[in-house]
Amino acid sequence: MDGYSLSLLIYSYHFMGLILFSDKYKEIKSNTTGIYKEKGSKFIAYAFPVYSENEVKEKRDEVRKLEHSARHHCYAYILHADKSVQRANDNGEPSSTAGKPILGQILSSDLTNILIIVVRYFGGVKLGVPGLIRSYKTAASEAIINATIITKTIKEYYEVSFKYPQMNDVMRLVKEFDLEVISTDFRINCKLVFAAEKSKATSIVEMFKKNHKLAIKEVI
């Protein structure tokens, strides 16, 4: 194997590792809108942060009531930090001319926990497949451009149980790893719940376990 091929292989493994073990993900902070017009047709995009299928349905119902005169209500959404739920719907437009372009904009912006609905008011002129794809894509893009993007971290939660004399040991580790303390109970049988970034959680837990006078368990 030559040097170039080896370097490419190492880079590929490194890149795959980042994908597999990244605990960061991006969302929009709040609702936004975007508008695009072409040949008399008007496309209005509504973007919402959502976290469940029920929320998706609620937002779709809201937009249907608000834009009840629109000819089409097309949408796409992605849920969960790992983007494991992805859906798109053309709502009567030709196949893959609406939902898929909307979904493509969400994916290209690396977003999740988001729903984008694009409603269309027909302007009397048919746009054809390329025109529809461009219009739904652009309207969705405008809604994303107008959004504030925030980065979140996947966290795991642990409960540490200990006796009062071990207080200094526990607080030293909390400070050393800059842990987010969720709750505390410092009576005779002390307890502390903390949150840790998923990618660092294993090593942090191992450090706690080195002190056999402490008990630690993962909590939901």
Q: Are residues 133 and 193 in the same domain?
A: no
The last residue of one of the domains, among 132, 151, 170, is 151
Examine the domain organization and report whether 49 and 144 are in the same domain.
Answer: yes
Range(s) of the domain holding residue 159:
154-219
- What's the number of domains the chain is made of? 2
In this structure, the answer to whether residues 112 and 53 fall within a common structural domain is: yes
Q: 64 CB contacts (<8 Å, ≥6 apart)?
A: 73
CA distance 93 to 149: 30
In a domain, 111, yes or no: yes
User: Is 146 inside any structural domain?
Assistant: yes
Side-chain-facing half-sphere of 89: CA atoms under 13 Å:
15
The pLDDT tens digits for 56-100 are 999 999 999 999 999 999 999 999 999 999 999 999 999 999 999
Q: For residue 143, tell me if it sits in a domain.
A: yes
pTM summary value:
0.78
- 180 and 147 in one domain? no
**DSSP3 helix / strand / coil % (the chain, rounded to 5):** 40, 35, 25
* pLDDT tens per residue across span 125-147: 999 999 999 999 999 999 999 99
- 208 phi and psi, to 5 degrees? -65, -40
Other C-beta atoms closer than 10 Å to the C-beta of 147 total 22
